[in-house]
């Protein structure tokens, strides 16, 4: 629960409030996953690992149905454009969809033991 009066995205305070609530003392143990540029900016400002998710994102600008109706070539083109936007905002990682998140968490050595 975010305390009343805590500033929202892209300010980093919601992340810090969640860290405090979860008893996390280091931003190195936190991953911010988002589908908007504001989400990415929040993570960057907090100093946490920051991941952009392309499919379903406002950055992509397409519904899932619209995206799936595109040819593979066009899907890759719009994916790259969305990825560039996330990277320019400071995302350290960009994934196609949330199914790729567990592998990324594992690669960062942050999987729950």
Mean pLDDT value across residues 75-94: 96
Strand runs labelled E in the chain: 31-34, 49-53, 93-95
DSSP code of residue 25: -
Q: Could you tell me how far CA 68 lies from the centroid of its own chain?
A: 21
Q: Is 30 helix (H, G, I), strand (E, B) or coil?
A: coil
Phi and psi at residue 44, in whole multiples of 5°? Answer: -60, -45
Read off the pLDDT band of 94 (50, 70, 90): very high
Residues 16-73: pLDDT tens digits? 989 999 999 999 999 999 999 999 999 999 999 999 999 989 888 898 899 899 999 9
């Amino acid at each position: 629960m975010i305390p009343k009066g805590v500033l929202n995205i892209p300010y980093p305070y919601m992340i810090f409030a969640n860290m405090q609530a979860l008893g996390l003392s280091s931003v190195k143990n936190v991953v911010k996953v988002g589908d908007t540029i504001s989400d990415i900016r929040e993570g960057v400002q907090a100093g946490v690992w920051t991941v952009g998710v392309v499919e379903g994102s406002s950055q992509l600008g397409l519904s899932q149905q619209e995206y799936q109706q595109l040819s593979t070539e066009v899907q890759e083109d719009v994916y790259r454009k969305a990825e560039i936007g996330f990277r320019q905002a400071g995302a350290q990682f960009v994934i196609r969809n949330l199914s790729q998140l567990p592998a990324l968490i594992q690669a960062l050595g942050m999987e729950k033991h």
